[in-house]
């Protein structure tokens, strides 16, 4: 708790002066005012987060947080639990969608074992298929079944958040300008829906989607399991750590820690989809100042994601009907942020280009 409390006490708001300087810099560029739309917004948000209008993006990393869920025994996922470990192996071998997109934009994939129900230390990152690394921050061998009791203890919930902070801080020494969040964990849309229902005060039927592709019968079972989990555990909506402990996941806590740690170090966070945004909701509830460091990369096809983004006051950059997770959407978002920052830094001004300014009315 000491690390978490320190981070919470030392998150500062974004820089209003850098925000104003970035807006002024765009107004001097040889383009009609506002013509780059949300690209201007992204560059300004980045500058405000960094506290420096001249800060460029060199070091890009996506953190794919992995963990298993005891609630999987309730049949809430279309895939068996061992797929979590199998996909972690695929990430480390460079063969997953997140690896392809990371290579495409020149980012590093950091796979973090927050609570996989297997021994991940037997796996070795490949140096042949991209840039990826493994961090072991295991809180436990998967959470407990939240349908019959708390998913984890309060101390484990705090440990999972601190695991995300630690993973972030370990990467600072190699340089870190912007991060993306990602996830892997069979059945993790179930706790994410529960978090949305509790923290967002949303009906469970509205908060719950098909996850990895459930049929109607399985979807109704999933809804019943989430309702039962909330009834059994009675998570306190005014205590985000209690919500995480009662109906959350280790990797969701890890994502919350990433958001908090990044905000403390003035690093913008590009969120992926439904599970990543569940982690962001926990972080935002713990310290609202984290919100202005968050960028929503896309809106997931998962039913409740729009409601999560509305709760956080975020407008997604993309709508590609994606629902994969891993950090795939976050990487596309980072690519757009980097393009926006390059426009701010590399375009000529009206004066430099010898272009007449618009006539004042």
Task: Give the residue numbers annotated as catalytic, written as ranges.
Answer: 326
Given a contact cutoff of 8 angstroms between Cβ atoms, the answer to whether 254 and 163 are in contact is yes
SS3 content of the chain, % helix, strand, coil (to 5): 50, 10, 35
Cβ neighbours of residue 224 closer than 8 Å, sequence gap 6 or more: none
Given a contact cutoff of 8 angstroms between Cβ atoms, the answer to whether 198 and 243 are in contact is yes
Helix axes 2-9, 250-264, angle to 10 degrees: 40
Angle among Cα 258, 260, 265 to the nearest 5 degrees reads 90
Residue positions counted in the chain: 361
Nearest to 64, CA basis, from 114, 4, 23: 114
Burial of residue 100 (number of CB atoms within 10 Å: 0-12, 13-18, 19+) = middle
Burial of residue 345 (number of CB atoms within 10 Å: 0-12, 13-18, 19+) = middle
Identify the H or E element spanning 136: strand 132-136
What are the b/e assignments for 107-124, b being 16+ CB within 10 Å? bbbbbbbbbbbbebeebe
């Amino acid at each position: 708790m000491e690390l978490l409390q320190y981070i919470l006490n030392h998150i500062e708001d974004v820089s209003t002066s850098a925000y104003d300087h970035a807006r002024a810099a765009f107004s001097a560029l040889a383009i009609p005012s506002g013509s780059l739309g949300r690209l201007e917004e992204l560059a300004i948000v980045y500058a405000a987060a960094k506290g420096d209008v001249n800060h460029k993006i060199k070091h890009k990393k996506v953190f794919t947080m992995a963990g298993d869920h005891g609630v999987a025994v309730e049949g809430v996922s279309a895939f068996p639990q061992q797929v979590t470990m199998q996909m972690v192996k695929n990430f480390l071998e460079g063969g997953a969608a997140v690896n392809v997109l990371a290579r495409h934009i020149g980012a590093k994939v950091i796979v973090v074992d927050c609570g996989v129900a297997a021994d991940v230390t037997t796996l070795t990152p490949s140096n042949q298929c991209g840039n990826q690394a493994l961090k072991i921050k295991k809180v436990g061998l998967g959470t407990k079944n939240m349908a019959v009791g708390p998913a984890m203890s309060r101390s484990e919930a705090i440990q999972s958040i601190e695991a995300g902070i630690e993973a972030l801080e370990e990467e600072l020494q190699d340089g870190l300008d912007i991060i993306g969040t990602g996830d892997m964990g069979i059945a993790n849309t179930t706790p994410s829906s529960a978090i949305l229902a509790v923290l967002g005060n949303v009906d469970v039927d509205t908060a719950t989607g098909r996850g990895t592709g459930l049929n109607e019968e399985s979807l109704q079972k999933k809804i019943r399991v989430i309702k039962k989990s909330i009834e059994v555990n009675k998570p306190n909506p005014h205590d985000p750590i209690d919500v995480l402990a009662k109906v959350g996941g280790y990797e969701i806590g890890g994502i919350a820690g990433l958001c908090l740690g990044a905000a403390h170090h003035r690093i913008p966070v590009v969120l992926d989809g439904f599970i990543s945004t569940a982690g962001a909701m926990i972080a935002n509830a713990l310290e609202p100042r984290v919100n202005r460091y968050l960028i929503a990369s896309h809106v997931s096809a998962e039913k409740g994601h729009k409601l999560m983004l509305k709760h956080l006051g975020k407008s997604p950059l993309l709508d590609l009907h994606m629902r994969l997770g891993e950090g795939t959407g976050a990487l596309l978002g980072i690519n757009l942020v980097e393009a926006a920052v390059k426009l701010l830094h590399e375009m000529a001004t009206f004066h430099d280009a010898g272009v007449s300014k618009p006539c004042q009315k």
